[in-house]
Structure 1
Amino acid sequence: MVYFATDDFSDATFVIVNAMLYNLFMEQTSLATDAAVRDEYHGYMQQCRVNLETSLANIPLFLSSRVENVQALLLGVSWARGSSRPGKCVASPADDRVPQALYAVDVSRPSVAWHLSCMAAQLCQTAGYHRSETLKYDSPDTAKLKRILFWHVYTLDKGLGLRLGRAPVIHECDIDIPRVFEFDGSGHFKSSTIPTLWVEISHLQSRIYEELYSPAALKSPQAELVKRAMALAKDCRKLEVEAEACREHVYNYLRTANSSDSVDVFLRGDEVQFQVTLTLVYRVIPAPEGSVSRFCDECLDVARKAMKLHQQCVELTNLGSYFRSIYIHWNLLLTPFAPFFVLFCYVIETSSLDDLRALQEFVASLDGARDSSETIEKLYRLCQVMCDVASLYVEAKSQQQDQTMAPIGDEFEMYLSQLGFMPSEDQAMANAQDNGGPPPANGQVQVAQIADWFSGNRNMMGLLEEDLSQIESYRWMQQHNAM
């Protein structure tokens, strides 16, 4: 049977329909047990993807601030992000033309997502979706729909800003609507629970960039940065307690309702992303005097907790590679996965075998979703290479008595320092002397290290948008083992 439009339709409607059909076919492809049926659904899925990509590539520069345009851009952001969360909405039941859930695809392009997110944020602000004075002229259902759309754009704006190292488009001082994400979900949860926590976490992510990692923040004295980080950590811990209580309520309901395991996985994924965010906060707080590492104990503890929670999520999910890829796109790629980089640096500093094992387990956890996502394949390659680097470095350090291994260790330290993953006090001192200036104070050096680490972290994640087909760790390992 062939379906076709009998009336004219807008470009936004075309994007929305193809996005939701893609989501439907992706789900059926993942659940199908018959190979022929699975291949048929996969063909439909790819057709919708081509339609969607073509439409998004031809979006006009100037769009009206209609609701359907914001919805289409949101779905486009989710396509470019390759991320989706079951139950997370871009619409309201008040309008039967709009989708009830975002869909996921097997690509992740943060720079494109940022462009579409900025467009959506501008439309929302132009139309006053964030202003009570403007919304009072709409019907209750329309006003609610606009608030939902705004808060969804808000969460993407803040998360992508931190991911790409850019200031968000939406400013807190411009918002006067209630900070409540009024998504009713299945109707059994209050609107002020889990969805509203997404808004609060996004607000914290915005503060983390602006107060700790933005160019202006990194010009501040170290003492000021540490003070801000401690205040942010306190706010994060307070929200963590609230989030745990909300999730426990949801878990209890899910057990009673015998719901799909996918919801459980994505709720736990929220925990992973929160610990990732908290890791970025504690990274700014220096280790105690005399510590063997530059990371404070809290930073290491949170990073290890995030890795452990991730492993629990992977072990829980028996939903197929597509659902696993959705989880990875949302929770490991929306923000820089700081725990991996923190533990990588710690292994380089201390040769910790337990943390090296955690890195190896993380890489292994990506293996099951490699075929469903090009970006996950790239993440796997990148993390595998870094794991191999750490393994070889630990081996080299353990054989320091062998003089032939010393140059390898020196070479590693030089490259890792340039990437921002090794302390660079000596380089900072040398630069100051070359410029005829006095040696930098210890606090200035530590702030520079934070900037280098965040930049290196972000740049490594940025490689996921590049061609990594030439990265094959086993060849690199063979070359060094032959030395």
Structure 2
Amino acid sequence: MSDPDDNVGGSPKVHIGRAVSIRTSHKLFCHSLCVDPVIRCDRATPCANCVAAGIQCKTSKDRPQVQRQRVLISGQYERKIDAMEERLHSVETLLMETNKMLRSLLNKEHTISPSSTLTPDVRDTRASFTVDVNMDRSVNGPYDGETSLMAHSRNARRVIEHLLQSTPSMSSDPEVIDALKTLHAAMQGPSRTEASLLRPGPTDEDQESPRTTLPPQESVFNIIRGAQAADCLFFSIWLPFFTPDEFMHLCDQLYSDFDSCSLATKTTLYGGLHYMFAEYLSACKTPFDSIYWAHAQSFKLLFESCLRRYSVLSIPTFDNVLALVFGAGHAIQVSDYASAWPMVSTAANMCQALGWHRLPDGYARDAEAQRILFWLIYYFDKCLSLRLGRSSNIQDFDISVSYPKDPVESEYRSWHLWFLTLIDIATAHGLIYEQLYSPGSMQQLPKQRSQRVLELEFRLDAIAYKSTSIVESTVYRRQYMIYLVKSNAVVIGCLRTLTYRAASPSEGRAGFDIDPRCLSAARLTLRLHQDAIEHVRDRQDGSANDYANWTILNSPFTPFIVLFCHVIVSFDLDDLKLMEAFTISLESLNLRTARPMLNFRVLCETFLLLATRYIRMSTREMHVRDQVPVFSPDSSHATPSSSGYPTAQGRLNRIDLSQEGGNSGGFNFLPPGIFEDWLSGSQDFDQLELVM
């Protein structure tokens, strides 16, 4: 703003109020009075502004220019920068892994409140596929996921935890402690060091095996001709995809023009030759030289090596789908379900890319082979979905392709009916997971779940009736069909048990109350298993091996776990004998490879030992207190439940399982965190102070 006195006498009076910088050959710094308009400097010395203002004109000296240093980014500097980035990335990775390890340790050492640990969770009982939060996923190696059998076993383990906490006198028994340690180890699943298609083999290389690694051609052709003459089941199963003559021609092409054979052709041939050798050598009455078994093993290694070369980006073709189906079947045969799932998923994606799930009706051979191959993948997909607790790749509402057509040969029609029954059983697998055990189904009301159970019950009844009628019309391989129908009955029994197990338990009693229909289904399934075992026990055609891998291990075999939960609560000796007979039957199976069954057998033996020891010690305790007969597994005494003296069920009835308080109730004699340590074998009861 200007002062009123600035315009006295009409002549403007200039005030120098700010400095104006002018860059010339040297920097000129002048003070001038701030008026409008501003008088610009005329760059003279002294400047006109200072002369007009009557002040001394001051100038500033030139500032010395600071020489800039240019940084040249050469290849050496770039390498140093890259090295620093790599080190920073490694530090970040190390910090993340350390964080995961700390979280895992904190989860294991964290003491949960008694109410949350000792009160059974209704949702945990229904949702059999709840993942254990304490599982360490930072360990290198593939994570196989938790199977439905392990989930039900974990639920049974919780039941025995509650009962042991209510009877502290049993906790110091050495056999019980050893059994609990064995159970903990068995529930960890197979060792990560075991062979798996997801892990490279000891002889795997970046390039495929050369022609020289193949067994001698003449030996291979002799086995093929012998298997064809003996009418091996291998050719009957894979007849829709190649005839014996076509298979022989492919083998001849493999040996004569090895380099021109595609990966899919080699995979199919290696897998087919391995299983043909195994079937023919096992069934042949005249023992072959051991070199032929070595040839079968060589084809197996070549087969698995080819399977590892497949990726999700493989081109969708009929040959690739067939090779992946061979691989998925092999993975299930050796109980490598973690490897079977990605192969089935890739094959299912190829089928959908090729449009096989919407094939129009037709009788062309190629279309029929595609239709059969699609339904094989459907069967694998649905069975693995329930066993692994994952959503299936192929949804029922997205399928419009029809079932395979009836064969022209009348002798194969019963086998066609059996294949259709397999498809129905696969559909039941998928529906049980989707409607009863998936996370979305857990949000349903009890009334809705009961309706789902009823619908699945009707569906399983229809499948069972359809399956039992197959044998009557069977002409070709009747004895083997009898075995297949018996196996179907066991699988349907497992599905019934799972269906009824999902029925809503009583309020506050989840894990202890079992639906009577579930108990009946579990008992019937174990009896059906004994019937099937008697049929395959002494057979040399590989039936026992197929039964173990495709019926017991491929199905969620929960009837045994259900009976365990019932036995330790009710002291039912008849059910205990059923469990014992089932466990003994597993040892009598004549298996080519015992490894896949080993972990399941150890699990059953451990549950049986726990149930036997718990009932024996409970009756001994009651004998001391009430002077009643002591239980003996081989005695003919009446069961405790029928004798009138207290059982574990009676003790449970006196315990309020829904209490929220941490210091009340019958299970709180030991802090839950410490009890879990003892259960896992890291703590002894002798070193603990019990809180009574």
Q: TM-score, normalised by structure 2?
A: 0.51
**Counterparts of 1:371 and 1:363 in 2: how far apart (Å)?**
19
User: What one-letter code is carried by the residue in structure 1 that aligns with 2:522?
Assistant: A
Which residue of 446, 449, 465 maps to 1:225? 449
- Partner amino acid, structure 2, of 1:285: A
Residues 191/294 of structure 1: CA separation in 2 closer, same or farther (3 Å cut): same
CA contact (8 A) 1:148 1:181 kept: no
> After alignment, is 154-163 or 262-271 more displaced?
262-271
Q: Is the 8 A contact 2:279 2:541 kept in 1?
A: no
Mapping 1:80-159, distance limit 5 Å: 80-82=331-333, 107-132=334-359, 140-159=364-383
In the TM superposition, residue 400 of structure 1 has moved relative to its aligned partner by 2.8
Deviation at 1:223, TM superposition (A): 2.5
Return closer, same or farther for 1:171/1:271 CA change in 2, 3 Å cut-off: same
Aligned partners of 1:347, 1:363: CA distance in 2, in Å?
15
Report sequence identity in percent.
25
Q: Which residue of 1 aligns with 2:521?
A: 302
Q: Deviations over 1:93-140 (max 9, x none)?
A: xxxxxxxxxxxxxx211111111100110000010001135x77xx81
Residue by residue over 1:233-284, the C-alpha shift from the partner in whole angstroms, topping out at 9 and shown as x without a partner, is 1222123223322x2424xx34xx6x36333212211111111111111112
Q: 1:390 aligns with which of 611, 618, 621?
A: 611
Cα 1:18–1:429 change in 2 (3 A) is farther
Counterpart contact for 1:80–1:108, Cα < 8 Å: yes
Q: Could you tell me which of 456, 466, 482 is aligned with 1:264? A: 482
The Cα of 1:50 is off from its aligned counterpart by 0.8
Name the counterpart of 2:601.
380
Distance 2:353 2:532 in 1: 40
Q: 2:326 corresponds to which letter in structure 1?
A: L
- CA distance in 2: counterparts of 1:370 and 1:152, whole angstroms: 25
1:363 aligns with 2:590: no
Runs of 5+ consecutive residues of structure 2 not aligned to the other structure: 1-215, 219-254, 626-651, 663-685, 687-692
CA deviation vs aligned residue, 1:9-61 (integer Å, no higher than 9, x gap): 111111111111111111133224455x2633321221111111111122133
Give the superposition deviation at 1:387.
Answer: 1.4
Q: Which residue of 1 aligns with 2:223?
A: none
Q: Determine the structure 2 residue equivalent to 1:336.
A: 556
What is the letter of the counterpart of residue 306 of structure 1? T
Distance 2:386 2:585 in 1: 25
Q: What are the superposed Cα offsets for residues 131-186 of structure 1, whole Å, 9 maximum, x if unpaired?
A: 135x77xx811111111111110011000000000010001121111144767787
In 2: Cα distance, 1:393 partner to 1:291 partner: 20
1:2 equivalent to 2:217? Answer yes
Q: Does 1:12 align with 2:264?
A: yes
Distance 1:321 1:395 in 2: 42
1:203 equivalent in alignment to 2:418: no
> Does the 8 A contact of 1:348 with 1:390 survive in 2?
yes
Q: Measured at CA, do residues 132 and 397 of structure 1 come closer, stay the same or move farther in structure 2, by a change above 3 Å?
A: same
Residue in 2 aligned with 1:443?
A: none
SS at match of 2:539: coil
- Deviation of the 1:343 alpha carbon: 1.2
Distance 2:283 2:515 in 1: 44
Gaps of 5+ in 1: 83-106, 405-421, 435-478
CA distance, structure 1, for counterparts of residue 289 and residue 608 of structure 2: 35
Shift of 1:373: 3.0
Residues in 2 aligned to 1:158 and 1:149: alpha-carbon distance in whole angstroms: 14
| Cα deviation digits, residues 81-103 of structure 1 (max 9, x gap) | 01xxxxxxxxxxxxxxxxxxxxx
The whole-number CA distance in structure 2 between the counterparts of 1:124 and 1:9 is 23
Cα distance in structure 1, aligned partners of 2:592 and 2:617:
34
Distance 2:347 2:616 in 1: 50
Question: Displacement, 1:286?
Answer: 4.6
Task: Please say which of residues 199-208 and 218-227 is displaced more in the overlay.
Answer: 218-227
Contact 1:77–1:113 (8 Å) recurs in 2: yes
C-alpha distance in 1 between matches for 2:451 and 2:487:
29
> Is contact 1:208-1:281 (8 Å) kept?
yes
* Aligned residue in 2 for 1:249: 472
Q: Is the 8 A contact 2:282 2:542 kept in 1?
A: yes
Residues 200 and 161 (structure 1), Cα distance of their counterparts in 2 relative to 1, 3 Å cut: same
- Kept in 2, the 8 Å contact 1:15–1:52? The answer is yes
Q: Secondary structure at the match of 2:413?
A: coil
User: Which position in structure 2 is the counterpart of 1:94?
Assistant: none
Q: Is the 8 A contact 2:383 2:554 kept in 1?
A: yes
In 1, Cα distance between the equivalents of 2:384 and 2:454?
23
Q: How many residues align?
A: 381
- Residue number in structure 1 paired with 2:292: 41
The farther-off stretch of 201-210 and 53-62 is 53-62
- Say which SS state the counterpart of residue 60 (structure 1) adopts: coil
Q: Which residue of 1 aligns with 2:316?
A: 65
Superimposed CA distance per residue, residues 258-313 of structure 1 (whole angstroms, 9 cap, x where no aligned partner): x3633321221111111111111111225789999622222112211111111111
Q: Distance in 2 between matches of 1:129 and 1:45?
A: 33
Aligned to 1:274: 492
User: Aligned letter for 1:398?
Assistant: T
Tell me the SS of whatever aligns to 1:193.
Answer: helix
Distance 2:425 2:292 in 1: 36
Give the alignment partner of residue 533 of structure 2, picking from 287, 295, 314.
Answer: 314
1:25 to 271, 277, 301: 277
1:221 shift after superposition: 2.3
- Matched residues in 2 for 1:271 and 1:185: separation? 27
Superposed CA deviations along residues 348-404 of structure 1, whole A, max 9, x for unmatched, are 221211111111111111113356231112222221112111211221222233789
SS in 2 for 1:336: coil
Cα 1:47–1:400 shift into 2, 3 Å: same
- 1:177 is paired with a residue of what secondary structure? coil
- Based on CA coordinates, which of the two structures has the bigger radius of gyration? 2
| Correspondence 1:341-360 to 2 at 5 A | 341-360=561-580
* Contact 2:544–2:591 (8 Å) recurs in 1: no
Distance 2:268 2:372 in 1: 17
Q: Is the CA contact 2:271–2:299 (under 8 Å) kept in the aligned structure 1?
A: yes
CA contact (8 A) 1:287 1:297 kept: no
Preserved contact between residue 406 and residue 413 of structure 2 (Cα < 8 Å) = no
* Cα deviation, residue 337, structure 1: 0.4
| Matched letter for residue 605 of structure 2 | Q
> Does the CA-based 8 Å contact 2:471-2:485 persist in structure 1?
no
Q: Structure 1: how far apart are the matches of 2:272 and 2:283?
A: 17
Rate the CA distance shift 1:21–1:75 in 2: closer, same or farther, 3 A. same
The answer to whether the 8 A contact 1:286-1:294 is kept is: no
Distance 2:256 2:584 in 1: 46
1:155-166 to 2 correspondences below 5 Å = 155-166=379-390
The structure with the greater share of residues assigned to helix is: 1
Distance 1:268 1:185, change over 3 A: farther
SS at match of 1:294: coil
User: Which residue identity lines up with residue 501 of structure 2 in the other structure?
Assistant: R
